[in-house]
Amino acid sequence: MTQEIELAQRALCAERNAEFLATPRTSKLGVAFATVGLRPVNGLRHPATSETNGWYIWCGEEFSSEPDFFAPLHASHLYDEHPDWGRLLGLAPGYRFLLDADYLDVWFDASLLNV
């Protein structure tokens, strides 16, 4: 992660009174590629595992529980291709976000910690 990205993430967390936890560029997250381009953008963060940093991101109103809904992606690709999403990846496990153009909602959901 670049210093510029980390500063933006820390600023967003401070603005939202949210805990900061870095998402390294080399870590993996889950992205629902079939939904990219839809609105809004949704994200949630579970605790990290050996396989993932805990982030899952999808777009649109529909969430699927199908096992292939999310595919792995290195965070570096998300930072490069969707920098507006990347600024949100400093939110710690337990946080969710909803992003739609200039609208951003960030909230803590304790149930995300129990997986």
pLDDT single digits (tens) 77-103? 999 999 999 999 999 999 999 999 999
Report pLDDT for 90: 98
pLDDT single digits (tens) 22-40? 999 999 999 999 999 999 9
Q: Could you tell me the maximum CA-CA distance found in the chain, to the nearest angstrom? A: 36
Strand ranges across the sheet with 41-45? 71-74, 28-31, 55-59, 41-45, 95-100, 103-108
Report pLDDT for 1: 67
pLDDT single digits (tens) 32-69? 999 999 999 999 999 999 999 999 999 999 999 999 99
